[in-house]
Amino acid sequence: MPELSNLWFEENFEFELGRTIKIKIEKMIEQFDSPFQRIEVYQTRPFGRMLVLDGVIMCTEWDEHAYHEMLTHVPMFTHPGPEKVLVVGGGDGGTIREVLKHPTVKEAFLCEIDEHVIRLSQKHLPALASSLDDPRVKIVYEDGAKFVKGHKNYFDIILIDSSDPIGPATVLFSEEFYSSMRDSLREGGIAATQSESFFYHGDIVQKLTGYAKKLFPIPGYYFTVVPTYPSGIIGFTFCSKKYHPLKDVDEKRIAALQPMLQYYNYAIHRGAFALPSFIASRIDIQY
């Protein structure tokens, strides 16, 4: 691959809105055009290796833990004993890695539409993807919406580790999909979905939390801080059939796994649901 030491990567997702992020590139490690998208892996100067899909940053080695830990552990520690878990998207493997830290997990399905994301992540991002070889993991190359529809009353936890609402991920931001998730969860099941930035994407946040309020007894929205994502903030819609993210979170289980975690802890879990007034008033979810 050619050396790119004098070049900068500029993300294109927000570019037409007058905002972007630029990252110094040392080299392109690999580029591949799959049937679904362009996949790129870069070596960056400040953030280690970086995975990019269709010009949009998916993760960097430097800050991926802040995203993957929060998507995973907020619902996992709220549920008293998750055994069957589904991750939709997440071909880099980071979310599955976090799921498998929970000793109650017996099955962890990874439903990724693009097998080449998994292939290149296993090749170039082993710190994220090495857990995909765990015998509890079942990898399915399928459209996530179709897979969820085919598994009613099956999962304890569903985690939507999707890209932004463009291209193949668009269906994952629909009310029909949220309804399918509800049907796919067992009694007491919980889903958490990647739900963009409340600074930049308030309309999306309001729409997705609206689905959660309509379809689930205990809806919510929480966030994490990821410097290489748009605005440095990314949130998750919380959808629970039974368990409350603040009243039912298990502090003892968190303490047992704390040495394995970099970002998530009990205080962060509780604080992540405390939202700025401008977005709290829009989604109108009170705890």
62-110 tens-digit pLDDT: 999 999 999 999 999 999 999 999 999 999 999 999 999 999 999 999 9
Q: Which of these ranges, 133-137, 172-176, 264-268, has the smallest mean pLDDT? A: 172-176
CA–CA distance, 39 with 115 (Å, rounded to integer): 11
Count of CA atoms in the C-beta half-sphere (13 A) of 228: 26
Catalytic annotation, pick one of 161, 183, 203, 250: 161
Complete domains list, the chain, with CATH: 3-60 (2.30.140.10), 64-283 (3.40.50.150)
> How far is it, in rounded angstroms, from Cα 241 to Cα 75?
12
- In this prediction the pTM is 0.95
Per-residue confidence (pLDDT) for residue 5, from 0 to 100: 53
SS3 of residue 40 by DSSP: strand
Q: Supply the pLDDT for residue 169.
A: 67
Q: In the numeric block, which tokens belong to residue 126?
A: 């082993």
Residue scoring higher pLDDT (286 or 181): 181
Secondary element (H or E) of residue 236: strand 233-240
SS3 content of the chain, % helix, strand, coil (to 5): 35, 30, 35
pLDDT above 90 as % of the chain? 91
Contacts of 247 (CB under 8 A, 6+ apart): none
Question: What is the model's pLDDT at position 268?
Answer: 98
The H or E element containing residue 140 is strand 137-140
CB neighbour list of residue 16: distance below 8 Å, 6 or more residues apart: none
| Residue 256: both structure tokens together | 């047992």
Mean pLDDT for the stretch of residues 267-286: 96
Cβ atoms within 10 A of the Cβ of 214, count?
12
**Rg of the chain on CA atoms, in Å:** 18
- Is-catalytic flag, 134? no
pLDDT in tens, 22-37: 999 999 999 999 999 9
